[in-house]
Amino acid sequence: MSASLATRRVVAALLATGALVGAAAFPAAADDHRRDHRAPTSSIAIGEVQYESPGRSDRSGRALNREWVEVKNTGRHSINLRGFTLTDRQGNRYRFNDFRLEGRSSVKVHTGQGRDTRHDVYQDRRDRVWDERDTATLRDPRGKIIDTQSWDGRGHRGHHRNG
């Protein structure tokens, strides 16, 4: 019986040690998991803007897709832009679905219709959005302004980043 009791004590000690090691490692793993899903909004910004598509002034899909706003991730880690919105002064709004923007990359948000890829997404609109004098505003899923960029059609641009 004493051998059995000793065996049980050794097994109990091993299990307790394993539980302590697991408990110590769990918060670190949980922190890494949260970091992947938490949007470090300071690394997300509006890049270049192509308003009023160049070329023929028609409402064709090709012309609408020459009008776009670039959203950049300047950080090293990918960020899911789900729920982020891009708006203009008139209230037109594009909402990102489940879209993962890799670190140090960008995506162009085109006005017209097309097939979304890693570098291009489409608003599926039939009319222009970005005017000669306008402001693009990027908000996080909670509605906090992350970045704005304004232009006046004469080459003057204003840029304001939050975060």
pTM of the model: 0.71
Q: Are strands 134-139 and 85-87 parallel, antiparallel or unpaired?
A: antiparallel
Calculate Rg over the CA atoms of the chain.
25
pLDDT by 10s per residue, the chain, length 163? 556 767 677 666 656 665 555 555 444 444 434 344 444 568 999 999 999 766 655 556 788 999 999 999 999 999 999 999 999 999 999 999 999 999 999 999 999 999 999 999 999 999 999 999 999 999 999 999 999 999 987 766 777 777 5
- The Cα 97–Cα 139 span in angstroms is 14
What's the CATH class of domain 42-158?
A: mainly beta
Domain ranges of the chain: 1-38, 42-158
